[in-house]
Amino acid sequence: MTVEQANGNYNYMYEFRIGESWYPCHLLNISDDKLHGVIFARNGSVARDRLSNIRKMRKEDYLQNRKEVVEYLGKWAYNYGIHENIHDDLKLFDSVDDLMGS
Protein backbone atom coordinates (compact mmCIF):
# COMPACT_ATOMS: atom_id res chain seq x y z
CA MET A 1 0.00 0.00 0.00
CA THR A 2 1.24 3.48 -0.82
CA VAL A 3 0.84 6.62 1.28
CA GLU A 4 -1.66 7.89 -1.29
CA GLN A 5 -3.76 4.72 -0.95
CA ALA A 6 -3.61 4.86 2.85
CA ASN A 7 -4.50 8.55 3.10
CA GLY A 8 -8.22 8.82 3.77
CA ASN A 9 -8.69 5.04 3.95
CA TYR A 10 -10.45 4.12 7.21
CA ASN A 11 -10.40 0.36 6.56
CA TYR A 12 -7.50 -0.37 8.94
CA MET A 13 -6.39 -3.99 9.24
CA TYR A 14 -3.19 -3.55 11.24
CA GLU A 15 -2.39 -1.90 14.53
CA PHE A 16 0.72 -0.60 16.21
CA ARG A 17 1.73 -0.41 19.85
CA ILE A 18 2.51 2.64 21.92
CA GLY A 19 3.24 1.53 25.46
CA GLU A 20 0.60 -1.03 26.35
CA SER A 21 -2.07 0.27 23.94
CA TRP A 22 -2.69 -0.65 20.29
CA TYR A 23 -3.89 1.78 17.60
CA PRO A 24 -5.20 1.19 14.05
CA CYS A 25 -2.83 1.73 11.13
CA HIS A 26 -2.00 0.69 7.59
CA LEU A 27 1.18 -1.24 6.89
CA LEU A 28 2.94 0.43 3.97
CA ASN A 29 5.91 -1.92 3.68
CA ILE A 30 8.31 -4.22 5.50
CA SER A 31 12.06 -3.65 5.46
CA ASP A 32 14.36 -6.05 3.65
CA ASP A 33 15.72 -7.25 6.99
CA LYS A 34 12.16 -8.21 8.07
CA LEU A 35 12.67 -6.38 11.38
CA HIS A 36 10.92 -3.08 10.69
CA GLY A 37 7.78 -1.84 9.03
CA VAL A 38 6.56 1.52 7.80
CA ILE A 39 3.07 2.40 8.99
CA PHE A 40 0.49 5.04 8.19
CA ALA A 41 -1.21 5.96 11.46
CA ARG A 42 -4.80 7.10 11.88
CA ASN A 43 -3.63 10.69 12.46
CA GLY A 44 -1.95 10.73 9.03
CA SER A 45 1.62 10.34 10.19
CA VAL A 46 4.08 7.91 8.60
CA ALA A 47 6.46 6.14 10.97
CA ARG A 48 8.99 3.32 10.96
CA ASP A 49 8.74 0.84 13.82
CA ARG A 50 9.90 -2.64 14.80
CA LEU A 51 7.65 -5.40 13.49
CA SER A 52 7.29 -6.57 17.10
CA ASN A 53 5.21 -3.39 17.61
CA ILE A 54 3.00 -3.97 14.57
CA ARG A 55 0.43 -6.71 14.13
CA LYS A 56 -2.58 -7.69 12.10
CA MET A 57 -5.74 -6.87 14.04
CA ARG A 58 -7.62 -9.74 15.57
CA LYS A 59 -10.76 -10.37 13.54
CA GLU A 60 -12.98 -9.30 16.46
CA ASP A 61 -11.09 -6.00 16.78
CA TYR A 62 -11.26 -5.45 13.03
CA LEU A 63 -15.03 -5.97 12.99
CA GLN A 64 -15.47 -3.63 15.97
CA ASN A 65 -13.29 -0.94 14.39
CA ARG A 66 -15.14 -1.31 11.06
CA LYS A 67 -18.49 -1.03 12.84
CA GLU A 68 -17.37 2.15 14.63
CA VAL A 69 -16.16 3.72 11.38
CA VAL A 70 -19.45 2.93 9.63
CA GLU A 71 -21.45 4.32 12.56
CA TYR A 72 -19.30 7.46 12.66
CA LEU A 73 -19.15 8.18 8.91
CA GLY A 74 -22.47 6.65 7.90
CA LYS A 75 -22.85 6.00 4.18
CA TRP A 76 -19.68 8.05 3.56
CA ALA A 77 -17.62 5.19 5.03
CA TYR A 78 -18.07 3.43 1.70
CA ASN A 79 -16.10 6.25 0.02
CA TYR A 80 -13.19 5.76 2.45
CA GLY A 81 -12.06 2.17 2.00
CA ILE A 82 -14.92 0.31 3.71
CA HIS A 83 -16.97 -1.94 1.41
CA GLU A 84 -20.76 -1.94 1.62
CA ASN A 85 -20.72 -5.73 1.72
CA ILE A 86 -19.02 -6.91 4.92
CA HIS A 87 -18.08 -10.18 3.19
CA ASP A 88 -15.89 -8.22 0.74
CA ASP A 89 -14.07 -6.64 3.68
CA LEU A 90 -13.67 -9.99 5.43
CA LYS A 91 -12.25 -11.52 2.25
CA LEU A 92 -9.76 -8.64 2.07
CA PHE A 93 -8.97 -8.99 5.79
CA ASP A 94 -8.32 -12.72 5.41
CA SER A 95 -5.92 -12.03 2.53
CA VAL A 96 -3.79 -9.61 4.61
CA ASP A 97 -0.57 -11.09 5.97
CA ASP A 98 -0.20 -11.95 9.63
CA LEU A 99 3.17 -10.59 10.70
CA MET A 100 3.95 -13.31 13.25
CA GLY A 101 7.13 -15.00 12.18
CA SER A 102 8.03 -12.28 9.66
Distance between CA atoms of residues 72 and 33, nearest Å = 38
Q: Write the DSSP symbol of residue 52.
A: G
- Given this model, what pLDDT does residue 1 score? 85
- Given this model, what pLDDT does residue 102 score? 47
The three-class DSSP label of residue 35 is coil
Distance between CA atoms of residues 4 and 88, nearest Å = 22
Strands (DSSP E) found in the chain: 14-18, 21-30, 36-41, 46-50, 54-56
Tens digit of each residue's pLDDT, the chain (102 residues): 899 999 999 999 999 999 999 999 999 999 988 899 999 999 999 999 999 999 999 999 999 999 999 999 999 999 999 999 999 999 999 999 898 754
Distance between CA atoms of residues 33 and 42, nearest Å = 26
What pTM value is reported for the model? 0.90
